[in-house]
Amino acid sequence: MGLTSLNQQLLSKIATNDEHGENSPYFDGWKAYDNDPFHLTKNPNGVIQMGLAENQLCFDLIKEWIEKNPTASICTTEGSMAFKDIANFQDYHGLPEFRNAVAKFMGRVRGGRVKFDPNKIVMSGGATGANETIMFCLADPGDAFLVPSPYYPAFVRDLRWRTGVQIIPVTCESSNNFQITIEALEEAYNKTIEANVRVKGLIITNPSNPLGTILDKDTLKSLVNFINERNIHLVCDEIYAATIFRPPHFTSISEAIQDMDSNDDLIHIVYSLSKDMGFPGFRVGIFYSYNDEVVSCARKMSSFGLVSSQTQYLLAAMLSDDDFVERFLDESSRRLECRHKIFTEGLKEVKC
């Protein structure tokens, strides 16, 4: 008996399978960059990291804000009075001021056209944790979710690895600009059902990662009808909601369902501060569900990946500052557009 089979007995199937997705071209790219990073003068032939979305464009604004708001910290003379309460705080509902601020921020990011209820906000360890939590709440091992392709490569880890849920890719074609059509959804749905696999829902990323496209209101409504007709869930990953720099404006699923007849208990949103604010290190994932039973279950699960109360406290103050949020989001869009222009013009000069 070889070492591998011995270990397969000693460890779990999850530990010894490859569903974490790291043995994939996506992570090969990461490793290639780690081993040979590009530098303009020191390593001009190195690898450029284009697989990671890091928004660092507005940290000067954030730095300015935190210096002006020492009480938001529990690590300054002005703020350290709160250290004891905050470091000890561990309620899995989260600090009320944090949930309020996040709900308000989510509304602002979605153009102020919808309101979010702080009582439906659940914390999780980044969008990674939010994606997994939603699977654990909605599906049993072997159940399937439809996911239009191309999709975020780490969905393999987030959605499948520990939950045992299947991802069924819905083929979208470059010929129609990768639009999600009801025909493609029906085909994937019917094939899955025919294979005796239960379809529990549809997952969309809007704005799309990796495409950068956004779904219009009519398409969103047609997707809501699709899932309502089949009594399956719709999970909307909206972590790039504010990473928009030109028209058309972003439409959230929460806006689309406002004026239509839908069973909202089937609708769930994943959000995060990793992309729009550029805080991936803070691990602020948000799970928002219109289904109270799902909220209650997800909140119990959030014990596995709560946001540090130190970080909750800081962000509660920062995101509650309307003037700062307004200025940050406006400036972020402007700088993204500028960066996009420089980058795409640079790409034109690349000789293949």
Shortest Cβ 176–a copy of itself spacing (Å):
32
Q: Rule CB under 8 A: choose which of 35, 45, 56, 196 binds a copy of itself.
A: 56
Nearer to a copy of itself, 143 or 237 (CB): 143
Q: What are phi and psi of 236, to 5 degrees?
A: -115, 115
Q: Rule CB under 8 A: choose which of 109, 129, 146, 204 binds a copy of itself.
A: 129
Query: Which DSSP state fits 248?
Result: S
The active-site residue out of 104, 120, 200, 275 is 275
Sign of the dihedral through C-alpha 96, 99, 102, 103: negative
Distances (CA, A) of 22 to 156, 226, 285: 9, 33, 21
Nearer to a copy of itself, 111 or 305 (CB): 305
Q: How many residues bind a copy of itself (CB under 8 A)?
A: 74
Sign of the dihedral through C-alpha 148, 190, 221, 285: negative
Strands 284-289, 121-125: pairing kind: antiparallel
The active-site residue out of 74, 120, 134, 152 is 152
276 carries an active-site annotation: no
Shortest Cβ 316–a copy of itself spacing (Å):
13
Strands 166-170, 144-148: pairing kind: parallel
Nearer to a copy of itself, 23 or 45 (CB): 23
| 45 belongs to the binding site for a copy of itself (CB under 8 A) | no
Q: Rule CB under 8 A: choose which of 99, 104, 125, 324 binds a copy of itself.
A: 125
Site residues (CB under 8 A) for a copy of itself, limited to 250-279: 265-266, 274, 278-279
Site residues (CB under 8 A) for a copy of itself, limited to 67-96: 67, 70, 72-77, 79-81, 83-84, 86-90
Q: Beta-carbon neighbour count of residue 23 at 10 Å?
A: 9
152 carries an active-site annotation: yes
Q: Rule CB under 8 A: choose which of 109, 137, 156, 227 binds a copy of itself.
A: 137
Site residues (CB under 8 A) for a copy of itself, limited to 279-308: 279-283, 293-294, 297, 300-301, 303-308
60 carries an active-site annotation: no
| 320 belongs to the binding site for a copy of itself (CB under 8 A) | no
Nearer to a copy of itself, 174 or 196 (CB): 196
The active-site residue out of 239, 244, 253, 286 is 239
Site residues (CB under 8 A) for a copy of itself, limited to 143-162: 143, 157, 161-162
| 239 belongs to the binding site for a copy of itself (CB under 8 A) | no
Three-state SS for 39? strand
Closest CA to 266 of 223, 219, 218: 223
| 5 belongs to the binding site for a copy of itself (CB under 8 A) | no
Give dist(CA 289, CA 12) in Å, integer.
32
Closest CA to 298 of 166, 167, 125, 96: 125
Q: Give Cβ neighbours of residue 102 (< 8 Å, ≥ 6 apart).
A: 118, 121, 271, 284, 286, 315, 319
Q: Give Cβ neighbours of residue 146 (< 8 Å, ≥ 6 apart).
A: 168, 170, 185, 188, 189, 192, 199, 201, 202, 203
Specify the DSSP element, H or E, that contains 27.
Answer: helix 25-35
Q: Rule CB under 8 A: choose which of 15, 182, 260, 338 binds a copy of itself.
A: 15
Closest CA to 192 of 139, 154, 238, 127: 139
275 carries an active-site annotation: yes
Site string for a copy of itself, 182-221 (x = CB under 8 A): ----------------------------------------
Nearer to a copy of itself, 215 or 235 (CB): 235
**Which residues belong to the active site?**
152, 237, 239, 275
